[in-house]
Amino acid sequence: MTYCVGLYLKDGLVLLSDTRTNAGVDNISIFSKMHVYQIPGERFMAVMTAGNLAISQAVVNMLHEGINTGERVETLYTAPSMFRAAQLVGDAVRRVYNVDGPTLEAQNVKFEISLILGGQIKGRGMRLFQIYAAGNFIEATPDTPFLQIGETKYGKPILDRALQYDTDPRDGVKLVLVSMDSTLRSNLTVGMPIDLLVYRRDEMKAEVKRRIGEEDPYFKMIQESWSKALRDAYRAIPRPNWFA
């Protein structure tokens, strides 16, 4: 399983993904699920993937090599808009399904993939999309400023309660790390290290791109501080008066 989360904020994007893949308790591996497509000064895009690793890698490789639309070969480096980039990702998913889907279904293997695409092209708006296994997609908005894929339920409550569109990206980093910590504690199929990326609106390049391991001092501080804050909040809540 996987956990990836993307924040769509007034001042930029915050993206975070884990790296664990597993096919049983004795077959655990580390693969990056965050892929960056960047031409500094001209465009910045990042794709995060969840689902079947072979399907995800096939889609990512197709995006790197380009998609022949009949008139030309298009890639995320040539897409004229973020909307077109999301269409290309969806097209890649459908093409992989057309090749591999029937064979997988014959083996009783589901065609499972979901992706988050975020970024900006110079002169155009910054956008964040979630692409489904059918190749269709939705977009984050100021009213719904985050998207999640993979094992989403454990990390969602903190985002629902604390995140707003005008949250500073630096505070967004704290929120996604708390969200990831909650998921790591509750689901063994999500694991370290984790990949963090921060993009500032109109910068056309990543501001922060960092791999965070178990011994990272800031992440350890987040884990300890959040656990203490929860314990303190729980103790501060009055007991019910239902007892004699």
Can you read off the two tokens belonging to residue 233? 């909040």
> Which three-class secondary structure state does DSSP give residue 49?
strand
Per-residue pLDDT for the chain (244 aa), expressed as one digit of tens each?
799 999 999 999 999 999 988 655 566 688 899 999 999 999 999 999 999 999 999 999 999 999 998 889 999 999 999 999 999 999 999 999 999 999 999 999 999 999 999 999 999 999 999 999 999 999 999 999 999 999 999 999 999 999 999 999 999 999 999 999 999 999 988 999 999 999 999 999 999 999 999 999 999 999 999 999 999 999 999 999 999 8
Taking the domains of the chain in order of start, what are their residue ranges?
3-234
pLDDT value for 189: 83
> Which three-class secondary structure state does DSSP give residue 55?
helix
pLDDT value for 244: 81
Q: How far apart are CA 143 and CA 34, in angstroms?
A: 25
Other Cβ atoms less than 10 A from the Cβ of 148: the count is: 22
Query: Is CATH 3.40.50.970 the classification given to domain 3-234?
Result: no
Q: How far apart are CA 86 and CA 140, in angstroms?
A: 13
Q: Is the dihedral of CA 147, 211, 52, 76 positive or negative?
A: positive
* Contact in structure between 148 and 4 (CB atoms under 8 Å): yes
Longest dimension (CA), the chain: 79
